[in-house]
Structure formats: C-alpha cells, structure tokens
C-alpha cells in the first residue's frame, strides 16, 4: 500500500512538473486567482509582462494590475452569475507597478482546482503583436534600402580612386610649374572631400564584414562606450549606470556590439547637449527579460540594454525612419550611425526599439542570451 502511494505521489509530481513547464513556456501571461481576484499563481510570461517577480505577483490582486477596476469588478460579477468565460479586450495595464503602460486582451475562465473554485486569467499583449509586425516591416524596408545603398556604394567607390589620383597628379603639376598656392588649395579640397566620401562609403559597407563570435560580457561593452564618451567630453559629462550584474555572457562580436552601442549613445549625447538641457542626463540600464520574441524567434531569456536620455525627443514620424540609411534629424549628420547599429544588432539576431517623448527617449537593444 505504501509503495502504491509513493508511486502515485511520484506520478503527481511528474504531472505537476509537466504542467509547470507547459505554463512557463506559453507566450501569454497566465494567472490563477481566488474568486476575489487575489493571485495564487503566475507563470513566467506574467513576470515578463509586468516586470514583477512571481513571488510579489502572488501577494497582490489582479485589480492592482488593471486600470479599469470598475469594469473588471462587473466582469467578475457577471462571470460568477453565469458561470461562463468572459473576455475583455484592449484592457489597460496599470503602470503603477510595472513602470510601463500597455494594452492586453484578457480572458476570464472559471475553473475548479482541488475542489476549490478558482479563476483562470489569460493576458495577451496587443503591443507585442504590433511590435513584431513593425519589426518585420522595418526589416523588409531596410533590406531593400541597404541592398540599394550597398550597390551604389560599390559604384561610387570605384571612381573615387581615380578622382583622388588625378588630384594628386594635378598637385604635382602645380608644384612643377610653380603655380600659385591658391591652386594647390583647390587640389587639397578635392583630395580631402574624396577621402571623406571614401570613409562614408566604407562605413556603408563595413557592417557586412564577417562577425567574430565569442563570449562577451555586455557590461564590458557598455563600460567601454561610456568611458570613451566621458573622455571625449573631458570628464564634463558622466553616464548614469543601472546594471544587472547577474546577466550572463552573450555570444557575439564585441567590436560590432561596441560600435552599435557607441552610435546610439553618441546620438543621445549630441541630443542632450544640443537642446541646452539644464540637467543633461543619459542612463545606461541593463536587465534580463524573459520569454521575449524577436521577429519570429522566441527566446526564454534576452538581455535588454536601454540607453535613456532627457533630450528633446524624436518625433513619431522620424521614429519610423531613423534606422533607414542617410536619414538624420541633425544638420550635418550622415544618417549612418543608427543604420550601422541596427545592422550589427540584427546580425546578432537581436532588435532595437525606440520610444520617445520630450525629456524621455529610450533606445532599447534586445540580444538573445545563450547559444
């Protein structure tokens, strides 16, 4: 009899472990609550959605996560009266605990667990699908524009060597025949501008070089970038660090990651200085995000690197275009910095997102953790 009980307990443990694994690998946030909406269980997607630890989620009510508490109470009342599932669409998540505002579709289903009545709540982020569709559209447009730019870059690079060589020969002729210095200045201008164009073309082609993958600590990348830019400002500007030291190493090309982060951070630095902010600030923040989807690939863990500045912000129209080649909101900008950053991160199977309003611009880099 004891052996049978032990076998049954073992089977129940295995079943519970299977259920736990299945729930933790769902895309949607799943909660199990009492009938008063006090949370007794939350899966890992719920942690990811609200950026709140599971232990903390299980000590609060769902009412604290949703903005429309009156509507939610009515749904619960209707559900208890009818005993049938209910759906609430475009429900706003309260930003008080999560620190961000977004919308979800909520599904309320009455269930019975261990002879006790419970409520199963599923939340599916609407922003999640909008973001993935936007990433697909952006990537497709970028592929088209990058192929066009690369083709033009190759065509431009060939005659540049001839122009520079002709300018050097002309400079020698000027010296030989003793012509005035003004003529030499003109040949110097030709040579200088030709070199500038060559550098521009090289930058367009550089991100397509073969990556050299190895284990990389993301904080080595951010510290290199922060130290470099702090040195450029002669110590007059200091970056604010907010690191998660528990983030494991990435598998990537360190130099390309540094270039990507440097381009974004330098843009942020230029933005806060150009707007003459009273208290210019840039924060570099790292966190681990769970169950995150990048394009069509879902990763259990990703590294999220935020570069946050309190500059003037980026308009919505410009936000949709800033990653395209040769698009810049700054006069004198080449419009290549963010394109190069996006290309480097995409080649690491990652993504870059931008959210902006005056005084709060966030560039978020997502990089898969693990092989």
Domain ranges within the chain, ordered by starting residue: 2-129, 211-371
- Token readout for 72 is 């939610």
Per-position DSSP letters for 38-72, written without gaps between them: BEEEE-HHHHHHHT--HHHHTTSBGGGTBS-HHHH
Look at residues 219, 370, 355 and name the one whose alpha carbon lies nearest to residue 286: 219
Percent of the chain with pLDDT over 90: 11
Q: Please calculate the CA angle 354-358-362 and round it to the nearest 5 degrees.
A: 25
H helix or E strand, kind and range, residue 256:
helix 254-274
Confidence check: pLDDT of 314 > 80: no
The pLDDT value recorded for residue 305 is 95
Which residues, 6+ apart, have CB-to-CB distance to 134 below 8 Å?
Answer: none
Q: How far is CA 264 from CA 321, 322, 338, 367, in A?
A: 15, 11, 7, 15
Decide which of 3.30.70.100, 3.40.50.2300, 3.40.50.10090, 3.30.450.20 is the CATH code for 2-129.
3.30.450.20
* Dihedral sign (CA 17, 18, 23, 24): positive
Per-position DSSP letters for 14-29, written without gaps between them: HHHHHHHHHHHT-SSE
The pLDDT value recorded for residue 98 is 46
Average pLDDT over residues 71-98: 75
Q: How many CB atoms lie within 10 A of CB 34?
A: 13
Matching residue, tokens 């949607």: 28
Residues 146-198 have pLDDT tens digits of: 666 666 666 677 787 778 888 888 888 878 777 777 777 778 888 887 877 77
- What sections of 177-243 are H helices per DSSP? 181-205, 218-232
- In terms of pLDDT, which residue wins out, 66 or 365? 365
- In terms of pLDDT, which residue wins out, 319 or 290? 290
Q: What secondary structure letter does DSSP report for 207?
A: G
Residues 216-262 have pLDDT tens digits of: 999 999 999 998 888 888 777 888 999 999 999 999 989 889 989 99
Look at residues 312, 329, 321 and name the one whose alpha carbon lies nearest to residue 354: 321
The pLDDT value recorded for residue 284 is 94
CATH number corresponding to 211-371: 3.30.565.10
Beta strand spans in the chain (E): 29-33, 39-42, 86-92, 103-113, 116-125, 214-216, 240-242, 250-252, 282-294, 297-309, 351-357, 360-368
307 neighbors 363 (Cβ within 8 angstroms): yes
Q: How many residues does the chain have?
A: 371
240-242 sheet: strands from edge to edge: 240-242, 282-294, 297-309, 360-368, 351-357
How far is 75 from 89, CA to CA, in rounded Å? Answer: 12
Percent of the chain with pLDDT over 70: 75
Average pLDDT over residues 28-52: 85
């Amino acid at each position: 009899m004891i052996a049978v009980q032990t076998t049954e307990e073992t089977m129940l443990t295995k079943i519970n472990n299977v259920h736990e694994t299945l729930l933790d690998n769902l895309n949607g946030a799943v909660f199990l609550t009492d009938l008063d909406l006090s949370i007794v269980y939350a899966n890992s997607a719920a942690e990811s959605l609200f950026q709140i630890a599971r232990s903390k989620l299980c000590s609060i009510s769902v009412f604290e996560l949703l903005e429309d508490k009156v509507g939610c109470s009515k749904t619960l009342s209707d559900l208890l009266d009818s005993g049938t599932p209910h759906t609430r669409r475009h429900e706003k998540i309260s930003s008080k605990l999560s620190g961000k505002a977004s919308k979800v579709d909520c599904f309320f289903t009455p269930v019975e667990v261990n002879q006790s009545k419970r409520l199963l709540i599923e939340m599916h982020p609407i922003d999640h699908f909008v973001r993935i569709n936007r990433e697909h559209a952006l990537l497709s447009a970028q592929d088209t524009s990058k192929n066009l730019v690369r083709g033009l870059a190759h065509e431009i690079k060939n005659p540049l060597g001839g122009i520079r060589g002709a300018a050097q020969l002309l400079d020698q002729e000027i010296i030989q025949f003793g012509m005035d210095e003004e003529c030499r200045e003109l040949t110097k201008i030709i040579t200088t501008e030709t070199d500038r164009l060559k550098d521009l073309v090289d930058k367009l082609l550089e991100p397509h070089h073969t990556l050299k993958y190895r284990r990389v600590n993301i904080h080595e990348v951010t510290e290199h970038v922060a130290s470099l830019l702090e040195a450029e400002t002669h110590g007059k500007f200091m970056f604010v660090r907010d690191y998660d030291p528990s983030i494991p190493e990435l598998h990537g090309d360190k130099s390309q990651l540094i270039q990507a982060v440097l381009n974004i951070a330098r843009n942020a630095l230029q933005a806060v200085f150009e707007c003459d902010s009273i208290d210019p600030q840039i924060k570099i923040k790292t966190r681990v995000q769970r169950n995150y989807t990048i394009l069509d690939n879902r990763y259990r863990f990703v590294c999220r690197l935020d570069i946050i500045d309190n500059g003037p912000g980026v308009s919505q129209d410009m936000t949709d275009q800033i990653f395209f080649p040769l698009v810049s909101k700054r006069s004198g900008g080449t419009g290549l910095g963010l394109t190069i950053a996006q290309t480097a991160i995409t080649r690491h199977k990652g993504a870059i997102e931008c959210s902006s309003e005056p005084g709060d611009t966030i560039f978020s880099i997502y990089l898969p953790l693990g092989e």
